[in-house]
Chains A and B, each alone.
Chain A
Amino acid sequence: MNNLLNKKVSVLDLIRNNSVPLMFILICAIFIPLSGFSGSYLLNEIMTRLGRNAFLILSLLIPIMAGMGLNFGMTLGAMAGEIGLILVADWQIWGIPGLILAAIISIPISILLGLMCGKLLNRAKGREMITSYIISFFVNGLYQLVVLYMMGPIIPIAHNTLKLPRGYGIRNTVSLLPMRQSIDNALAIYVGGVKIPVLTLIIIALACLFIIWFRKTKLGQDMRAVGQDMEVARDAGINVERTRIISMVISTVFAGFGMIIYLQNLGNFPTYSAHTNVGMFCIAALLVGGASVEKASIGNVFLGVILFHTMFIVAPSAGTKIAGDSMIGEYFRVFVSYAVITVALVMYEAKKRKSQSLMGQMLAQAQKDEEGKAE
């Protein structure tokens, strides 16, 4: 009897702890039949999007480990990756060598931006998320300054196909057609009509292995300690500020690589808006996978990509079936992305407050006990 009760409670807990993924499984279960897509089409789309997005989302894991919350500043890395791709496209180095070169170019820019972001976030402890969010807007302004005004006169751009007609600045769209899906196609295999981009998956697996290894290193352990409690970590002799900056730098560099993988899949990108929504969608996907602001695993990344993007694929046509208007579905998926992030943030803050007040109560109880003993 007691055992049964325990089991019931644990099932309830399981549901409560995974409410967001379960809700999404439900949404997908309703929308997939409504959308009328075939299974192979859906699988193909999900596979494509898994290869496209997983690396970007992995870049979010390390700042979460360091207790800095969801890194809205991953957009910085995305911009660094884009600058690398623009330069490579101008030098006309295509294919995998071009992508590797773009990644190499993005590294110093990412490190620089990551350092800046980390330093600023150290000045805004306790509100890292809103600050990193504003940093992403601020750096977007700097990105426009560089790409729209400095590319041409200061940073040499040789080809007129890239430049705006006025002679400086980059056109609104950068075409990467000669290197489109060059990683995806390199070792692709087809299983029942579903294309599996093996090389992309290997790169993603390597990133996962790096994260697993990194967690076990001294630095990774320090980072977790900082994430648990900054003061305790400081007392233990960990350089808290430095550790936090390093976590931001790694995340930004990863996001740069992730953006290059993302864009080689798409084959072209809008120069000034490709990065604006990347942070939001990656964070929403991670949260849909069951992550929270303070805890995220590699499993969350993959579950999140699959569930979130299934919803993304089927929502417009399902919306057409339900409301007779495809725009409803479009707005619905945007709303769901925002709502998921809102709910996750609310749950995180509420939990934080609850544990704080619990600690306060415990302290008060301890004091009372002490007084009782004294009498």
Chain B
Amino acid sequence: MGKQITTSLGNKTRFRQLVDSFGLPRIIITGFLLLLFISAPIVGADFATQLTNTINRFSWNAVLVLAMVPMIHSGCGLNFGLPLGIVSGLLGATLSIELGFTGAMSFVMAIVISTPFALLFGGGYGWLLNKIKGGEMMIATYVGFSAVSFMCMMWLLLPYHSPTMVWGFAGTGLRTVISLEGFYDQLLANFLKIDLSSIGINLVIPTGSLLVFALLALAMWAFLHTKTGTAMTAVGSNPAFAKAAGINVDKMRLISVIMSTWLGAVGILIYEQGFGFIQLYMGPFWMALPAVSAILIGGASVNKASIPNVIIGTFLFQGIVTMTPTVMNSAFHMDMSEVIRVIVSQGMILYALTRKTEGGR
């Protein structure tokens, strides 16, 4: 009798351990995605097409999710101010086209031009966040919103003239959506592209985009293992200890914010090359939330994140985003995907914010 109780207790604790280390919502989400993948062929959706869509969307979004990592490491919390980085990327993208670059060159120049903007905006943003330690996330959200709505005015007022970008009838003011055809549409995705449709499998892998992400992720991993990187992690996990160890806390945080902003800028350019369009005005407004929930789904918390978190999280999140509509539609003739996406992603952020163990920062 007594033995029975202990074994059942032992089982329970083991289950608890698994739940604690992985997190119940994460288990549910992974299970849900597995269910979607299993049920996809049953309801008549082509598995390879689904996988292609998921990988494709992964390649668009992964860098934006990677942009979360430095700020989480330095203790600045989740970067809800990602739109600021995106805005610098958009400035680079539009200026590169305005200056007359085309093809692959326009992509390179977009990154080059957006870099000073990202450094400048990121610097200001980091300076601000150093002034208000402890309240970063709310202010980050509103810095992002203010930046996007300010740029809404600028897109109309700045003297852009390139006929591919401005409104045809007025001759001034940028369009809401700009096609990238002839510029860098699918530039990375087509590099070393693996296309199995010739042998009857609808699987296309955008190797170039994945390689660029791998390169950036590797660089991030290497950076986090340099002296500066470890100092940054120290600042995030225990600022008082880091200060005592002679680390300049404010400088580390500033570097992390600038890195995050620059990755946001590069991330949106990679997103654009996959998507094929530049979205201006209110386009970047809600882009922080999917990235935030993706990294949280991947296993990150408000003050801890790693590269595997980014990869797993982006795959799970984008998997759910792409799979739910098709599977749901063919199974129930009812498109609940939008509602499920909102509940899953916001629920995940909420879960991370209300976890007691990590709340005491």
Contact = CB atoms under 8 A, between A and B. Distances in A.
A124 interface: yes
Given A123-B354, A134-B346, A331 B339 contact: no
B173 interface: yes
Contacts of B153: 328, 331-332, 335
Given A134-B346, A335-B152, A123 B356 contact: yes
A342 B139 contact: yes
Contacts of B132: 345-346, 349-350, 353
A347 to B, nearest CB: 9
Interface residues of B, number: 38
Interface in A120-139: 120, 123-127, 129-131, 133-135, 137-138
Given A149-B336, A345-B139, A353-B134, A335 B353 contact: no
Contacts, number: 114
A135 B350 contact: yes
Interface of B: 80, 128, 131-135, 137-139, 141-143, 145-146, 149-150, 152-153, 156-157, 173, 289, 334, 336, 338-339, 342-343, 346-347, 349-350, 353-356, 359
A79 to B, nearest CB: 13
B359 A141 contact: no
Interface string A185-216: 00000000000000000000000000000000
Contacts of B143: 342
Given A130-B137, A331-B156, 7 more contacts: A123-B355, A126-B134, A126-B359, A133-B138, A325-B156, A328-B156, A339-B146
A327 interface: yes
B15 to A, nearest CB: 23
A268 interface: no
A149 B152 CA distance: 35
A131 B152 contact: no
Given A129-B138, A332-B153, A353 B342 contact: no
A130 B343 contact: no
Given A131-B353, A137-B289, A148-B339, A346 B139 contact: yes
A225 to B, nearest CB: 22
Most B CB within 10 A of own CB, among A138, A142, A332: A138
Contacts of A334: 149, 152
Nearest to A356: B134
B350 A142 contact: no
Interface SS of chain B: helix
Nearest to B78: A130
A304 B232 CA distance: 42
A123 B146 contact: no
Contacts of A243: none
A124 B347 contact: no
5 contacts: A123-B355, A133-B138, A144-B342, A323-B156, A349-B135
Contacts of B131: 346, 349-350, 353
B152 A142 contact: no
Given A149-B336, A346-B139, A130 B353 contact: yes
A359 to B, nearest CB: 14
A104 interface: no
A335 B347 contact: no
A142 B342 CA distance: 9
A167 B80 CA distance: 39
A134 B157 CA distance: 33
Contacts of A137: 289, 342, 346
Contact of A134 (B142, B152, B336, B350): B350
B349 A141 contact: no
Interface in A307-336: 323, 325, 327-328, 331-332, 334-335
A170 to B, nearest CB: 14
A21 B224 CA distance: 46
A345 B135 contact: yes
A138 B350 contact: yes
Contact of A353 (B128, B133, B336, B355): B133
